[in-house]
């Protein structure tokens, strides 16, 4: 049974990969609709011939890696179960540690390490592609440093979840999923609260914005939006990327307005103000809280689904998966596999919600700055520096795009700009 499961899983993965290779490289058509040709949204108006070709190549490669990376993760967790690695990791933990918490820590370390090693080649290829296309400027040692930070941050967070989850499973076999969800509420809020001041600084250096005149303009916008901000933070990203970005992060007193230094170097002041007005909209309209609420709703149903499915899978294929009981922490790779599958499945839904919020943020930025032209040039520069697809294929948009496409954003702003000019005349 284990061999059969493994064989058909690999076969399915190969068929899936071939489908997306065919879809992205041969079938999908990203050509601009006729009615948008020659408009501000037409990439031919702000990208040269070489940049257009590079954008097409880079987008196809990154999209393909996205679509195969998550199913590859499922395959890895499945093979960890089928080949008895999870059982072996547990034995290593029991042989190496006297206390149960130490045993579980060792088990989880080996599990995470194997998953990391198995996915490392694809991660490195992604880094190499970004470097080759001059999106990333990060050296390999710097990239590896971030990878190791990722590994340990994820390990610590996962260890807390792992310990609590299996403690609940052993305490209540029927309601552990509900208790786990209830505990996830304060845990999610806690992580969101500490991220700007504890987690983010592990990766980058945050300082006060050096351009004080620009900071005054941004804070004036914040005041107009009733955002209690006293500082704007600048993060040194030019050592890692040529891409542009800005964001508002955190909740409560730990909220931060952040600009990448690449953004301050590449964009004019009016363009930066448009970007910041867009980001402020997320704060004003409480999109962060809505995002947390949506994730908690989805996790409620997700945990219940995992609870039901775990019992079915263990009763039917427990021998092949080397799992005797659901509450045995040897089953953790199966939980990770199911969580990953559910997250992938709900991507289209969460992206729809996110695109709606981003559209509202664009509208808010126009209202606050009265400068849709700044938005147009900003998005053109974002597309240029990131080699972004202006009009991505349907499945790419559905599964990858948390923002409206550049075609949609620029064309809407162009309409607003024309209306504004007509009203002025």
Residues in the annotated binding site for Zn(2+): 278, 282, 358
Residues making up the annotated binding site are 278, 282, 358
User: Other CB atoms closer than 10 Å to residue 8's CB: what's the count?
Assistant: 10
| Helix (H) / strand (E) containing 206 | strand 206-208
Q: Is the dihedral of CA 391, 397, 400, 402 positive or negative?
A: positive
Told to judge if 146 belongs to the known catalytic residues of this protein, a careful annotator would answer no
| Helix (H) / strand (E) containing 235 | strand 233-235
Question: Taking the CA of residue 226 as centre, how many other CA atoms within 13 Å lie in the half-sphere pointing to its CB?
Answer: 3
Q: Are the CB atoms for 310 and 338 separated by under 8 Å? A: yes
Residue tagged active-site, from 215, 234, 271, 362: 362
Closest CA to 371 of 307, 424, 333, 327: 424
Phi and psi at 237, nearest 5°, equal: -110, -5
Give me the torsion for CA of 214, 222, 358, 127, rounded to 10°.
40
Q: Are the CB atoms for 319 and 66 separated by under 8 Å? A: no
**At how many degrees (to 10) do helices 49-82 and 100-132 cross?**
160
Told to judge if 328 belongs to the known catalytic residues of this protein, a careful annotator would answer no
Residue 193: left if φ>0, alpha if ψ -120 to 50, beta else—which one?
A: alpha
Residue tagged active-site, from 234, 279, 328, 408: 279
Q: How far is CA 75 from the centre of its chain?
A: 21
Cα angle at 402 between 397 and 407, to 5 degrees? Answer: 55
Six token digits for residue 178: 């509900």
Q: Are the CB atoms for 111 and 121 separated by under 8 Å? A: no
Cα angle at 407 between 402 and 413, to 5 degrees? Answer: 100
Q: Which residues are catalytic?
A: 279, 362
């Amino acid at each position: 049974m284990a061999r059969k499961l493994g064989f058909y899983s690999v076969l399915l993965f190969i068929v899936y990969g071939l489908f997306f290779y065919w879809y992205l490289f041969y079938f999908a058509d990203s050509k601009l609709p006729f009615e948008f040709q020659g408009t501000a949204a037409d990439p031919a108006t702000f990208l040269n011939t070489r940049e257009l070709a590079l954008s097409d190549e880079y987008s196809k490669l990154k999209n393909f890696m996205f679509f195969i990376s998550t199913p590859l993760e499922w395959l890895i967790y499945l093979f960890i179960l089928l080949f008895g690695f999870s059982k072996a990791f547990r034995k290593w933990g029991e042989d190496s540690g006297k206390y149960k918490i130490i045993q579980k820590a060792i088990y989880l370390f080996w599990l995470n390490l194997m998953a990391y090693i198995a996915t490392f080649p694809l991660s490195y290829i992604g880094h190499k592609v970004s470097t080759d296309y001059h999106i990333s400027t990060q050296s390999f040692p710097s990239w590896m440093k971030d990878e190791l930070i990722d590994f340990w941050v994820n390990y610590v967070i996962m260890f807390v979840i792992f310990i609590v989850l299996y403690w609940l499973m052993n305490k209540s076999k029927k309601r552990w999923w509900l208790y786990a969800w209830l505990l996830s509420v304060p845990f999610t809020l806690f992580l969101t609260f500490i991220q700007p001041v504890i987690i983010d600084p592990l990766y980058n250096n945050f300082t006060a914005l050096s351009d004080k005149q620009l900071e005054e303009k941004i804070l004036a916008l914040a005041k107009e939006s009733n955002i209690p901000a006293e500082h704007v933070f600048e993060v040194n990203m030019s050592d890692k990327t040529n891409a542009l970005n800005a964001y508002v992060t955190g909740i409560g007193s730990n909220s931060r307005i952040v600009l990448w230094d690449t953004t301050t170097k590449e964009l004019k002041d009016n363009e930066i103000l448009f970007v910041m007005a867009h980001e402020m909209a997320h704060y004003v309209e409480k999109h962060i809280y809505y995002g947390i609420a949506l994730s908690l709703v989805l996790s409620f149903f997700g945990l219940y689904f995992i609870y039901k499915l775990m019992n079915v899978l263990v009763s039917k294929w427990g021998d092949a998966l080397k799992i005797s009981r659901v509450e045995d922490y040897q089953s953790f790779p199966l939980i990770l596999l199911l969580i990953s599958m559910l997250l992938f499945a709900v991507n289209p839904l969460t992206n729809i919600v996110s695109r709606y919020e981003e559209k509202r943020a664009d509208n808010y930025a126009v209202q606050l700055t009265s400068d849709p032209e700044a938005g147009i040039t900003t998005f053109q520069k974002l597309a240029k520096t990131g080699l972004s697809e202006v009009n991505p294929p349907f499945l790419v948009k559905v599964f990858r795009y948390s923002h409206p496409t550049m075609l949609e954003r620029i064309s809407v702003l162009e309409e607003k700009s024309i209306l504004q000019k007509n009203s002025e005349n």
